[in-house]
Structure 1
Amino acid sequence: MKNCYIYRLLILTSVVWLFALLSAFAQSVRGHVTDATTGADLPGVSILVQGRNTGAVTDANGLYTLTLEPGSYTLQASFVGYTTQTLPVQVTTGTTATVDIRLVESLASLNEVVVIGSRSTQARSSTQTVAPVDVIQSRELVATGQVDISQQLNFVAPSFNSSRQTVSDGTDHIDPATLRGLGPDQVLVLLNGKRRHNQALININGTIGRGSVGTDLNAIPSSAIERVEVLRDGASSQYGSDAIAGVINLRLKEQPGTTVNAQLGQQYEGDGQVAQVGINHGFKLGQKGILSLTGEFRHRGATNRAGDYTGPVYVNWNVGQQSGESAAAYVARRQSLYQQDQALIRQNNFNLSDNLQVGNARVDNAGFFLNARVPIKGSGSNASFYATGGLNYRRGLAGGFYRYPYQTTQVITAIYPNGFLPNIQSTINDQSLLVGVNGETNGWRWDISNVYGGNSFRFDVTNSNNASLAYLGPVNNPTSFYAGTLSFYQNTADISAAKDFGKQMGLTSFNVAAGVTYRNDQYRIKQGEAASYLNFSPQSGQAGGAQVFPGYQPANAINAHRQVYGAYLDLESDVTERLLLNAAGRYEYYSDFGGNVAGKLAARYRFSEAFSLRGSVSNGFRAPSLHQRYFSAISTVFVSTGTGLEPRQTGTFRNDSPIAQAFGVPSLGAERSTNFSVGITSRPLSNVSLTVDVYQINIRDRIIYSNQFSRGTSGAGLIVATILNNAGQTDVNSAQFFANAVNTQTRGLDVVIATNPRLATGTLDVTLAANFNQTKVVGDIKRPANIPQDATFGNFLFNRQDSARLTVAQPRSKIQLTFNYRLSKFGAVLRVSRFGTVESYDPANPALDQSFSPRMVTDLNVSYRIQKNLTLTVGANNLFDVYPDPLKVTNYPTPERYGTAALDNSSFGRFVYGRTATQFGFNGGYYFANLSASF
């Protein structure tokens, strides 16, 4: 045993002496990599030795070191957003060569290598791809002055639209996001190239994307993102269901060093305070491994742009004419009621300007993300293990409609003598974990991964009451309620392989990629507490359930699953030096409704270095979400009836429910699309790039959330009443459901022009990007088989108002011109965004339609590099405090004015700006200060 230790000691000593001897004769190359314009250090730059399997990555100070044998070499330095450089170096025995590198920023996003949309190893910029792609760097996102991803993209990607909603229940807390004017559920979101799970919330209020389920982009910390790639083309055959409008791929940071970003700001009006701090730190794991950690906190204060209320408060004077009552008596009665109400308003000092919150909800958001990649030693296949995980927690607080004292069926006046503004308090949890292994064996690039993620949305109602509990008295009555929880979880497993057979076939490239996937989806609704949904005294006529958001009932609770199996084949080849072809096909089978096949053909032909033509044709699909198949609820919906906002107990019934079947609603099927696109890419000058793409997207059997089918005493209303009564839903006034009901056609044009003119001092990048689109409903509406359409408001599956949400509620055009100037330690970004016309329609009366003219919004920020790694930025979004057109309103402050022609006869002045069709929001100007550091 003693001799064993002696032998180990001798071996260890020999190794140490050998290492020291080799080190004495080692040659090295060292250097410093900086930004050519600002001189700032560039961490995370890849330094490769061409023709050799060796390299390095710059550290937090932009430094790198390579150990090489004597000889001549060529170093290649590459970094996202910068032009790749190659430099020669001569290494001699026992010396250290110094090669400092100054990288120049590449020409906007049009020169940057694109990953999305292709599985080939050929490096292509967005002017060389077969489909249009936007590449947006993290520095461009930060330069917007926005702090969450959806709003950052809204101001840098014209085809992307995200508008914050107000007085719309849960949608106040999650911004619907769309691409090319389609729905939130018709764009697929990827994180590091893997499918991202959807949100738990389904949008059922009168907002953009009504009836759809999107992806909560704001659950991903903006501080964790390296860049965003937006594929503006149908890609169901390449990436699966939902990719009808395109794909958004968020790439997380993978570089050593530390970055810190902090921002403070508020609206010009003095509200909407924003505080954000994000920290990202990247650790080296061995020579080529990386672990990137990000933590971020965001606070967004509430905003309020409500107008003064002019309607009834204590006494309801907004009444109709009684049978047999003369016109003069009717006016006199109304005037008397009005005077009584005004007297009580003065007596109780009721604040008519502070009884509704119309603006952003308050939101506090905390997130943590990790991103790691580690080579697997000894694998013999250049294999790596990778992982991405994230946790996000969000608390929101938003107001509903004010309950006034005269609404005695909804208000317990013993608790709230002056009425109350009920609040929805949201708790949103989001988590995900991706693990995988990839590598290359005998020329085959393979990847095996599994990603599990989920989102839950808990509803709590505060500052409210259940009016049917009035008999308990003010002391024992609850004013806060747990209303239930929605959740959606998804597990996706993928196996893929790809190989380029170009050399064997005598071609520049012939890439073959194939893969299989398995996905399991789970959707759950948990019921709320009994007091949140029960009517404890039906005979009293008081409304049951928590006001603003009645809780989910036991009948709504569900735990639904589905399995999805898929396989795809993707071919891409540079057939000649000029012609690039791509073909893809995918089959997916859904356990709850069947299979679907999607295919795509795309090509790009390069006529010269200055001009190329590209185009694609594809078919796509979007499977109905589990939310659309299984969501149900009873809720209070305020409906515009032509004489005011009328609260209705409205039931949303599952597509497979007896009630939906009694209406004659068929089972949900997939939406199917046909996409056509043709475009040009051009570099007319060495520093000018241009892409122009036109497209048409036809969608058949589009899933919509129906309007209210209301009970009545004749016609369709009597049929509705009979169906609801037979199902035991005697307290429900109207019914809604999901159905494949309409076909739409979207046509549009995308233009991106970028240049960086050479200046005597400093550098200037100029980008002009624009999207023009038009969506229209084509063909007949597919109405339920067992219910006729009549003129009674609400008894329409899909009315004028619903049609407007699909066709004109989002800007028909968005044009953005951006100037980015840098001179030594100074920098400035000026962005001018023009948002096109939006419209909202009245459900029945065209005279009440609203149109909002185009508006131009200017953003400006100026930065100064205080120290080598510390930069201060101050700026203003919406610099000139621009607001959209106000609603064309004729209010009813007195009974004498009641009955005159009106364009908004429901808000009584509370809504100054439209909330169903928005261009850029109505919060006005916002100023901020931002401090960023890198180490």
Structure 2
Amino acid sequence: MTDSYRLYRLLTGVFIGLFTLSAAWGQSVRGHITDATTGADLPGVAILVQGTTTGAITDASGQYVLTTEPGSYTLQISFVGYTTQRQPVQVTAGSATTLDVRLIESLASLNEVVVIGSRSTQARSSTQTVAPVDVIQSRDLLATGRIDITQQLNFVAPSFNSSRQTVSDGTDHVDPATLRGLGPDQVLVLLNGKRQHNQALINLNGTIGRGSVGTDLNAIPSTAIERVEVLRDGASSQYGSDAIAGVINLRLKEQPGTTVNAQLGQQYKGDGQIAQIGINHGFKLGQKGVLSLTGELRHRGATNRAGDYTGPVYVNWNVGQQTGETAASYVARRQQLYQQDQALIQQNNFDRRNNLQVGQARVENAGFFLNARMPITGTNASVYATGGLNYRRGLAGGFYRYPYQTTQVISALYPNGFLPNIQSTINDQSLLVGVNGENNGWRWDISNVYGGNSFRFDVINSNNASLAYLGATNNPTSFYAGTLSFYQNTADASAAKDFGKQLGLTSFNVAGGLTYRNDQYRIKPGEAASYLNFSPQTGQTGGAQVFPGYQPANAVNATRHVYGAYVDLESDITQRLLVDVAGRYEYYTDFGGNLAGKLAARYRFSEAFSLRGSVSNGFRAPSLHQRYFSAISTVFVSTGTGLEPRQTGTFRNDSPIAQAFGVPSLGAERSTNFSIGITSRPLSNVSLTVDAYQINIQNRIIYSNQFSRGTTGAGLIVATILNNAGQTDVNSAQFFTNAVNTQTRGLDVVIATNPRLSTGTLDITLAANVNQTKLVGDIQRPANIPADATFGNFLFNRQDSARLTLAQPRSKIQLTFNYRLRKFGAVLRLSRFGTVASYDPANPALDETQSPRIVTDLSGSYRVLKNVTITIGANNLLDVYPDPLRVTNYPTPERYGSAALDNSSFGRFVYGRAATQFGFNGGYYFANLSAAF
């Protein structure tokens, strides 16, 4: 019985239990919320019972149902672009109360009630909080015309960055996501306010976030999301040690009604077809309970933007000059080899273009989520549950193996070479069960969440070259290469109470809690043919080409326990001054303990201007993946004479090989965060927030570069260490270590307005992030490797440095116009992505810089029926691409006879893949159908 099936059975049991529970529920407040000027229905309006956490959201027709006990309440009604209203209401027993509200337009954003970043019951908008928070509603995500959450956030939150990767093994199937220019493992993801588990995959290839472990956001169906809150501030003391850059909190839908969203589209080039359908249905359990169910199917077709390959295919003419060979003889020999190769290419009709897939991988995705809440009869408590299953299957290509690469290709199987493919199977599951309530003013919450992620590797259309002696008939061409998995169980207990009235203050909220977490990381080896070398004496390469399987020596089943306690104090000390103080202690059984703290404040000079700031420290313990991952893989390395495949071993930090290199034990990353900002309302219909920040991180964990064997100097030391460990087939060694210190400085700006129009409504939002990361201090090198190590033996070379400091856009500016006129709507978004750069490991002449680009998205919608809307649009309307790699890096036939080795990718990569701004798929057009009932 698989883990996914066990969780499915458990979720089914939860469903049955939810449906069979019944009790005498409290009373309800119902109503209809509309635009005061046009009378249009307003979906997504937040209704909150002031002083509590009870609330509701209007559905697509502007209707809401709020369940509560009899009594007198004040409802706070807020919606982006409209003035927040506070309405008194009297709820009597035995009858339903009706409260209809007409909202008046005000600001285009920044007015929505924020939950993340505070444990107080005081309702605050993002302009009233002590730290900057973006509140992104589901309608904003839908308006991007994109179907998965990482790409949706990439085009609505400037501080968030995520670009699809290509030819990067498992990372082709999981988009790395970052905040404020830091790493994927330095942002904490919450689901309904509870910690979401990490992915099983560790990013090992030359991508953003290399060596890090993030959270697979795309495992959560976007159809299930009500809104996203992005806390852009260090929050280790509030939510956990890995919240160095901030927190992303995904709130799931929790209201009656049905929403359907379906999309069809494709790239301008005719590939990358998209088909998606998501259905969410929420219905009441009794009078106050609710159960929300979501199912979503996504298909994403592959794209290919590879150029024409101009390098050697059958005969390797890109060879070096032999000892004693004259320059003239060398040129003549190369030219002869080149002519032989060209003749064979023509004879075999070899396709120079379709021998590499440079673009997004093909992905099929199916997700199912539930979100439920039920009051417990006769108490002030509720039971809640959130659960999800997600299945993804992907297919991505590696580097083509050409016939001249005889140590990698079995010619009897593939006389013209082959393009090996990695087939991924990703399973993600989670289940949260909790109970919360209020007694004597104390709000309490007890919960447990279990989640896990597994990543299975299969290699197809490949070979194990060491099995060449089997010929074409009996040779396997597909291999099971192993499975990675990560499971996490988190238990939390918290309590909070506001002592403001007792102290004569508007608020004085005291919150505290305890947490326990268990992490488990596993590596299961692949089949023998995926990793063994069956004939080492022949010089053939063993293992499946593109991705050699995990070996029994790599197998691991590691666990650790984490204990934590926190306290959080928040008070409106005066009508103008709001202060928040937080502290958290965490103890890791495999690492040790740490204390993190935060002090934040906001001072309101007037209704039009406030000043806010914070100072905090944090730490991030090494992940289990970074501590225990090991593997032997084929890595294509730029050597200054082309891309060379190397058998590279990643060895555990505590392994004898790493110790022989002089690599110290992994320690924690430690950070200090500083932030200062303003919130202002210079005009009645203009709102502004500006926040500057500095994040210092010491002892950042990096995935080292290749330490390659050689015959002299440092290379000889490497060879000796590898040979003594029995790794005679391994060319290079890599490991995880604390090596660098960084400083990140940045500025976030959000300006929102809605100018008065004679017809319709117009919301305008300008949001921007500017950041710069730089290395500080010396690189901490292994003790037993000389500091003057030759090329290939650097711990952290100039390519690694650029990936950390230059590979993400230095700025992102987004200007959005959202116009509505009765049944018609239009959205225009201009996104400017700043400069990115990638460096060659050794040759500065091969460095690449991509200049800023503006991507234009345009869509128009029409409500054909009361509850049905059709949207037609185009993302990247003008078909903008990044700067191509410089033409001087592409050889021409005339250069093949020169005396210089060619060090390019031979035209296969038209656009850089090491640093990307927004990808290179080009324009995309789509049709979207949405309905709400």
SS at match of 1:555: helix
Structure 2 gap segments, 5+ residues each: 1-26
**Aligned to 1:417, which of 410, 415, 418?**
415
SS at match of 1:337: helix
Shift of 1:696: 0.5
SS at match of 2:472: helix
Specify the alignment match of 1:765 in structure 2: 763
Quick one: structure 1 residues 494 and 339, their matched pair in 2 at CA, closer, same or farther if it must change by over 3 Å? same
Q: What is the rounded CA distance, in whole Å, between the counterparts of 1:357 and 1:48 in structure 2?
A: 51
Specify the alignment match of 1:908 in structure 2: 906
**Amino acid across the alignment from 1:159:** S
**Amino acid across the alignment from 2:728:** T
Q: What is the rounded CA distance, in whole Å, between the counterparts of 2:67 and 2:244 in structure 1?
A: 50
**Amino acid across the alignment from 2:877:** L
Quick one: structure 1 residues 68 and 629, their matched pair in 2 at CA, closer, same or farther if it must change by over 3 Å? closer
Q: What is the rounded CA distance, in whole Å, between the counterparts of 1:251 and 1:104 in structure 2?
A: 26
Specify the alignment match of 1:166 in structure 2: 166
Specify the alignment match of 2:245 in structure 1: 245
Is the CA contact (8 Å cut-off) linking 1:158 and 1:770 kept in structure 2?
A: yes
Shift of 1:761: 0.6
**Amino acid across the alignment from 2:615:** V
Matches within 5 A, 1:153-192: 153-192=153-192
1:137 paired with 2:120, answer: no
Matches within 5 A, 1:499-538: 499-538=497-536
Count of aligned positions: 905
Shift of 1:33: 3.9
SS at match of 2:728: coil
Shift of 1:41: 5.1
Q: What is the rounded CA distance, in whole Å, between the counterparts of 1:55 and 1:634 in structure 2?
A: 53
Matches within 5 A, 1:393-412: 393-412=391-410
Specify the alignment match of 1:363 in structure 2: 363
Q: What is the rounded CA distance, in whole Å, between the counterparts of 1:451 and 1:50 in structure 2?
A: 29
Q: What is the rounded CA distance, in whole Å, between the counterparts of 2:197 and 2:51 in structure 1?
A: 41
Shift of 1:684: 1.2
Shift of 1:848: 1.6
Q: What is the rounded CA distance, in whole Å, between the counterparts of 1:504 and 1:596 in structure 2?
A: 34
Specify the alignment match of 1:702 in structure 2: 700
Quick one: structure 1 residues 265 and 92, their matched pair in 2 at CA, closer, same or farther if it must change by over 3 Å? closer
Q: What is the rounded CA distance, in whole Å, between the counterparts of 1:487 and 1:68 in structure 2?
A: 43
Quick one: structure 1 residues 899 and 113, their matched pair in 2 at CA, closer, same or farther if it must change by over 3 Å? farther
1:392 paired with 2:393, answer: no
1:678 paired with 2:676, answer: yes
Quick one: structure 1 residues 92 and 306, their matched pair in 2 at CA, closer, same or farther if it must change by over 3 Å? closer
Matches within 5 A, 1:187-198: 187-198=187-198
Is the CA contact (8 Å cut-off) linking 2:67 and 2:287 kept in structure 1?
A: no
Specify the alignment match of 1:669 in structure 2: 667
Is the CA contact (8 Å cut-off) linking 1:192 and 1:251 kept in structure 2?
A: yes
Q: What is the rounded CA distance, in whole Å, between the counterparts of 1:333 and 1:863 in structure 2?
A: 64
Quick one: structure 1 residues 64 and 764, their matched pair in 2 at CA, closer, same or farther if it must change by over 3 Å? closer
SS at match of 2:857: strand
Superposed CA offset, 1:588-616 (max 9, x none): 00000100110111111111110010111
Q: What is the rounded CA distance, in whole Å, between the counterparts of 1:870 and 1:40 in structure 2?
A: 14
Quick one: structure 1 residues 39 and 348, their matched pair in 2 at CA, closer, same or farther if it must change by over 3 Å? farther
Quick one: structure 1 residues 745 and 47, their matched pair in 2 at CA, closer, same or farther if it must change by over 3 Å? closer
Specify the alignment match of 1:634 in structure 2: 632
Specify the alignment match of 1:150 in structure 2: 150
Quick one: structure 1 residues 327 and 92, their matched pair in 2 at CA, closer, same or farther if it must change by over 3 Å? closer
Is the CA contact (8 Å cut-off) linking 2:331 and 2:897 kept in structure 1?
A: no
Q: What is the rounded CA distance, in whole Å, between the counterparts of 1:831 and 1:295 in structure 2?
A: 29
Is the CA contact (8 Å cut-off) linking 1:129 and 1:604 kept in structure 2?
A: yes
Specify the alignment match of 1:782 in structure 2: 780
Structure 1 gap segments, 5+ residues each: 1-26
SS at match of 2:307: coil
Moved over 2 A (4+): 27-70, 72-109, 789-792, 889-902
Quick one: structure 1 residues 383 and 870, their matched pair in 2 at CA, closer, same or farther if it must change by over 3 Å? same
Q: What is the rounded CA distance, in whole Å, between the counterparts of 1:553 and 1:48 in structure 2?
A: 55
Quick one: structure 1 residues 64 and 367, their matched pair in 2 at CA, closer, same or farther if it must change by over 3 Å? closer
Is the CA contact (8 Å cut-off) linking 1:502 and 1:511 kept in structure 2?
A: yes
Is the CA contact (8 Å cut-off) linking 2:213 and 2:625 kept in structure 1?
A: yes
SS at match of 2:553: coil
Superposed CA offset, 1:444-499 (max 9, x none): 11100000000000000000000000001101000000000000000000000111
- TM-score by length of structure 1 reads 0.93
Quick one: structure 1 residues 430 and 766, their matched pair in 2 at CA, closer, same or farther if it must change by over 3 Å? same
1:894 paired with 2:905, answer: no
Specify the alignment match of 2:18 in structure 1: none
Is the CA contact (8 Å cut-off) linking 2:327 and 2:899 kept in structure 1?
A: no
Matches within 5 A, 1:24-35: 32-34=32-34
Is the CA contact (8 Å cut-off) linking 1:715 and 1:790 kept in structure 2?
A: no
Matches within 5 A, 1:9-408: 32-34=32-34, 36=36, 76=75, 78=77, 81=80, 83-85=83-85, 100-103=100-103, 107-379=107-379, 382-408=380-406
Is the CA contact (8 Å cut-off) linking 2:387 and 2:432 kept in structure 1?
A: yes
Specify the alignment match of 1:22 in structure 2: none
Matches within 5 A, 1:576-615: 576-615=574-613
Shift of 1:94: 13
Shift of 1:906: 2.8
Is the CA contact (8 Å cut-off) linking 1:295 and 1:368 kept in structure 2?
A: yes
**Amino acid across the alignment from 1:891:** Y
Q: What is the rounded CA distance, in whole Å, between the counterparts of 2:163 and 2:456 in structure 1?
A: 22
Shift of 1:397: 0.2
Superposed CA offset, 1:777-818 (max 9, x none): 010000000111335321000000000011001000000000
Shift of 1:286: 1.8
**Aligned to 2:687, which of 689, 702, 711?**
689
SS at match of 1:474: coil
**Amino acid across the alignment from 2:477:** T
Is the CA contact (8 Å cut-off) linking 1:403 and 1:421 kept in structure 2?
A: yes
Specify the alignment match of 1:838 in structure 2: 836
Shift of 1:30: 7.1
**Amino acid across the alignment from 1:884:** P
Is the CA contact (8 Å cut-off) linking 1:789 and 1:795 kept in structure 2?
A: no
Specify the alignment match of 2:745 in structure 1: 747
**Aligned to 1:561, which of 559, 562, 580?**
559
SS at match of 2:124: coil
Quick one: structure 1 residues 554 and 31, their matched pair in 2 at CA, closer, same or farther if it must change by over 3 Å? closer
Specify the alignment match of 2:917 in structure 1: 919
Q: Which has the larger radius of gyration?
A: 1
SS at match of 1:475: coil
Is the CA contact (8 Å cut-off) linking 1:335 and 1:895 kept in structure 2?
A: no
Q: What is the rounded CA distance, in whole Å, between the counterparts of 2:668 and 2:46 in structure 1?
A: 45
Is the CA contact (8 Å cut-off) linking 1:585 and 1:599 kept in structure 2?
A: yes
Is the CA contact (8 Å cut-off) linking 1:446 and 1:497 kept in structure 2?
A: yes
**Amino acid across the alignment from 1:313:** V
Structure 1 stretch 752-761 or stretch 447-456: which is displaced more? 752-761
Superposed CA offset, 1:157-185 (max 9, x none): 00000010000000000000000000000
Q: What is the rounded CA distance, in whole Å, between the counterparts of 1:898 and 1:251 in structure 2?
A: 62
Superposed CA offset, 1:300-322 (max 9, x none): 00000000000000000010111
Specify the alignment match of 1:815 in structure 2: 813
- TM-score by length of structure 2 reads 0.93
Superposed CA offset, 1:648-690 (max 9, x none): 0000000010000000101101100010000000011221110
Quick one: structure 1 residues 125 and 348, their matched pair in 2 at CA, closer, same or farther if it must change by over 3 Å? same
Is the CA contact (8 Å cut-off) linking 2:374 and 2:382 kept in structure 1?
A: yes
**Aligned to 2:791, which of 790, 793, 815?**
793
Q: What is the rounded CA distance, in whole Å, between the counterparts of 1:95 and 1:593 in structure 2?
A: 58
Q: Percent identity?
A: 86
Is the CA contact (8 Å cut-off) linking 2:434 and 2:445 kept in structure 1?
A: yes
Quick one: structure 1 residues 52 and 533, their matched pair in 2 at CA, closer, same or farther if it must change by over 3 Å? closer
Structure 1 stretch 677-686 or stretch 27-36: which is displaced more? 27-36
Is the CA contact (8 Å cut-off) linking 1:109 and 1:136 kept in structure 2?
A: no
SS at match of 2:261: strand
Is the CA contact (8 Å cut-off) linking 1:386 and 1:436 kept in structure 2?
A: yes
**Amino acid across the alignment from 2:842:** A
Specify the alignment match of 2:723 in structure 1: 725
Specify the alignment match of 1:436 in structure 2: 434
SS at match of 2:763: strand
Q: What is the rounded CA distance, in whole Å, between the counterparts of 1:532 and 1:285 in structure 2?
A: 52
**Amino acid across the alignment from 1:725:** N
